[in-house]
Amino acid sequence: MANLPDTAAFAEILKQLTFHLVVTNLGLIKIPQQYDKIRIEALYAPAVLSGNAPERVVGVSTLGDRISLTIVFAPPTDVDRAQSDRAVTDFLSKGVKRLEDAVLAQSAIKNAQSSLNK
């Protein structure tokens, strides 16, 4: 925590950048999933917008064998709300499709390697 930049300074840096998508990856979170009668099944990463719409932030974390995505979208202020909702849904659908394709490709590689080792 001591090595993290000052949040105000970091916010100023973000205001000067232009980007279409920000992806944060907390990686594999190694914490107990069971606390007495409470079980954590998924962990959704926090997402903070810079305030410069349009913005898209995808937070990724993995707990146990489950990946969790937090998706935050701030549309331009001059866009119709229904149009904005369709754009967000399309963005999410494309992102999930890419993730599924990556998982299937990785599985195919592992299966091919396993077949070669037999």
Query: In this predicted structure, what is the pLDDT of residue 1?
Result: 47
CA–CA separation, 17 vs 9, rounded Å? 13
Predicted confidence at residue 4, as pLDDT, reads: 66
DSSP helix/strand/coil, 11 = helix
**What single string gives the DSSP state of each residue in 25-69?**
EEEEE-S-SEETTEE----PPP----S-SSEEEEEEEEETTEEEE
Distance CA 69, CA 96 (A): 10
Q: What is the residue whose two structure tokens read 């962990």?
A: 43
Q: Please state the φ and ψ torsions of residue 75, each to the nearest 5 degrees.
A: -75, 160
The tens place of each residue's pLDDT in the chain, 118 residues long, gives 456 677 787 777 767 776 677 777 888 888 899 999 999 988 887 677 767 666 778 888 888 888 888 888 777 677 787 887 787 788 778 878 888 888 889 888 888 888 888 7
Cβ proximity of 74 and 38 under 8 Å? no
Residue ranges per domain, the chain?
16-74, 77-118
pLDDT at 43: 82
Provide the CA 53 distance to its chain's centre, in angstroms. 18
